[in-house]
Amino acid sequence: MADYREHYGEIRATGANIAAISVDPPRKSEAVRQELHLPFPILCDTERRVVQQWDIYNAKEKGGIARPSVFIVDRDRRVRYHSIDTTSVRVPASEIVRILQTKEEARPARRKLYFPRLADFIRAIRNAARFGVRSPHA
């Protein structure tokens, strides 16, 4: 979760939002959110309805918990990407940022594709200027 906190500015800069989900009740989730200084919400699937419907439910551990997994869902709720992890290790947030940026870059003139690294570099500077000095509490 700390990895996603560190990439929050970059994720928001692509126009995307982010939300975490666990089966913990609100009070526990709020404790986690404050402890980790998460700038995004934690949704509480206490009844395990979503994790079961989405088939990412691990019934064998801790009375039933979510498998560590990440989805990118587009405007029309269409799934652009998912990563389901079998261990506690999840896909790095930097990879999610890369995917979120790809769609934006694929649209403009083809010439841009010859300089993907330059585009990344410029965006990184722009993001640092916009988000670099932001407090995680903000």
As given in the structure block, the two tokens for residue 44 are: 């509480």
C-beta closer to another protein: residue 111 or 138: 138
How many residues make up the chain in this entry? 138
Q: Give SS3 for 11.
A: helix
Indicate whether 24 belongs to the interface with another protein (CB under 8 A). Answer: yes
* CA 99 to chain centroid: 11
Indicate whether 11 belongs to the interface with another protein (CB under 8 A). Answer: yes
| 38: amino acid identity, one letter | L
DSSP 61: S
Instruction: Count Cβ atoms below 10 Å from residue 38 Cβ, excluding itself.
Output: 19
Q: Which stretch binds another protein (CB under 8 A): 16-24, 107-115, 118-126, 127-135?
A: 16-24
Alpha carbon distance 27, 39 (integer Å)? 17
- Which residues from 73-112 bind another protein, rule CB under 8 A? 73-82, 84, 88, 90, 96, 100
Indicate whether 20 belongs to the interface with another protein (CB under 8 A). Answer: yes
- Which residues from 34-53 bind another protein, rule CB under 8 A? 41-45, 49-53
Residue with tokens 């003139």: 109
Q: Which stretch binds another protein (CB under 8 A): 22-30, 107-115, 116-124, 126-134?
A: 22-30
Indicate whether 60 belongs to the interface with another protein (CB under 8 A). Answer: no
As given in the structure block, the two tokens for residue 134 are: 């932001």
Residue with tokens 């670099």: 132
Binding-residue total with another protein (CB under 8 A): 61
Interaction site with another protein (CB under 8 A): 1, 4, 11, 14-24, 26-33, 41-45, 49-57, 61-62, 65-82, 84, 88, 90, 96, 100
